[in-house]
Amino acid sequence: MEDVNRSVKRDRDAPPATILIAALVAAIAGFGTVYLSFAPSDNGPFASSIKQGEEEGAAPQGAAAGQGPLAGLNKGAMAAFVARAKPLDLGDIGFTDADGAAKSLSDWHGRVVLLNIWATWCVPCREEMAKLDKLQSELGGKDFDVVAVNIDRGGSDKPKSFLAETGATHLSLYTDPSGKLFSAVKAVGMPTTLLIDREGREIGRLVGPADWASPEAVSLIKAAIASPPSA
């Protein structure tokens, strides 16, 4: 009993710095869980319960992707993709192109868009960028476009080099150093990728890296392209 009491007293008397370090180590060890559990606002229903997902118009992660054209397509490489049962209007969110000219989502009206948010310091983004580039080379055109937006704050030189290093020759450079886009779509980490319909509405998203050149990804995008306009 005395040993137990001494142990409890040591824990209680431990300096705050020691407690903080222990908490950080625990958080790092379980980073994947913390990443999803701390998801704010819009992403909460995506990773919580089926009931909440239905209330917000989103299917829960890993479940069948709604009853629409994307139903059952969140499998394999796209298992983490979460479709919305009802499209979400994103508003006219903006960013800039490689020349510094203002761009907005409305510039892609009439096309399905895969909006990817990335940064040069995001390690998973490096491998994913090559996959996005391959997807763009295969399906990009009048019906579909990969719009990859960098959110670095130090200018466009590093993002340009990043695209060159990863061999992303089919992707255009778009930037948003203000970080407003990240907040506007309620992203919780990087990379975050939104699938947007021809009306500029989010129809699903995938948080984290994915193989966007996989057969499952191509099937998902083709289904979105073939989908008729919804109310």
Q: Which domain holds residue 122?
A: 62-226
Q: Give the per-residue pLDDT at 71.
A: 85
Render pLDDT for 34-77 as a digit per residue (tens, 0 to 9).
233 233 323 333 332 223 333 344 444 434 445 578 988 999 99
- Confirm whether 56 is domain-assigned: no
CATH classification at residue 198: 3.40.30.10
Q: Is residue 90 part of a domain?
A: yes
Contact present, 96 and 174 (Cβ < 8 Å)? yes
- Residues sharing a CB contact under 8 Å with residue 94, sequence separation 6 or more, in sequence order: 102, 103, 104, 105, 176, 180, 181
Residue 102, in any domain of the structure: yes
Q: What is the C-alpha radius of gyration for the chain, rounded to an integer number of angstroms?
A: 20
Query: Would residue 55 count as lying in a domain?
Result: no
- Check residue 13 and give its pLDDT: 52
Angle, helix 215-226 to helix 123-139, in steps of 10 degrees: 50
User: How distant, in Å, are the alpha carbons of 135, 225, 226 from that of 219?
Assistant: 11, 10, 10
Total tally of structural domains belonging to the chain: 1
**Is residue 191 in some structural domain?**
yes
Whole-number pLDDT of residue 68: 72
The verdict on residue 158 lying in a domain is yes
CA dist 193 and 215 (Å) reads 17
